[in-house]
Amino acid sequence: MEQQIRSQVQEAAEAALSRNATDLVALDVSGRLPLTDAFLIASGSSERNVSAIADAVDERLGASGITLKRREGRGSGHWELLDFGDVVVHVFLEEDRAYYALERLWRDCPVIPIEERAAAS
């Protein structure tokens, strides 16, 4: 996997962590999906938190010049998807994440390490 994509995943993870996202998992799906290279999956503790996490990721990657191609689920508070092309970010309410279990669905894909920096912002 390209360093540029790993960097985008790391930036998205830092943005999510800045809004108290939990249980972050990044997966390299490039070998299984032709449309994207990586998934970042995160949980929020409330509907408002899910939206705040998604907004923070959108703002952070946008500020880095990465264009958001599509956003789904906005306003539902249970799940939001942000498609940046090479990276797709899924933010779930904790209960919904357990129900959809994307990690189980994509368990054959390699995990991308996320560095949890002390000064995530």
Please report the pLDDT score of residue 121 as a whole number. 44
117 token code pair: 């920096």
Residue 116: is its pLDDT beyond 90?
no
Helices (H), 1-121: 3-18, 47-63, 94-100, 102-105
Q: Is 70 exceeded by the pLDDT of residue 118?
A: no
Give the pLDDT confidence of 69-88 residue by residue, as tens digits.
Answer: 999 998 887 999 999 999 99
Query: What is the C-alpha separation between 35 and 15, in angstroms, rounded?
Result: 23
Residue 22 host element (H or E): strand 22-28
Each residue of 32-75: pLDDT tens digit?
Answer: 999 999 999 999 999 999 999 999 999 999 999 999 999 999 88
CATH code matching the domain that covers 3-105, chosen among 3.30.460.10, 3.40.640.10, 3.30.1540.20, 3.90.1300.10: 3.30.460.10
* 117 — pLDDT class (breaks 50, 70, 90): low
- pLDDT value of position 84: 98
- Mean pLDDT score of the chain: 93
Question: For residue 98, is pLDDT > 80?
Answer: yes
| % of the chain surpassing 70 pLDDT | 96
Q: List the domain boundaries for the chain.
A: 3-105
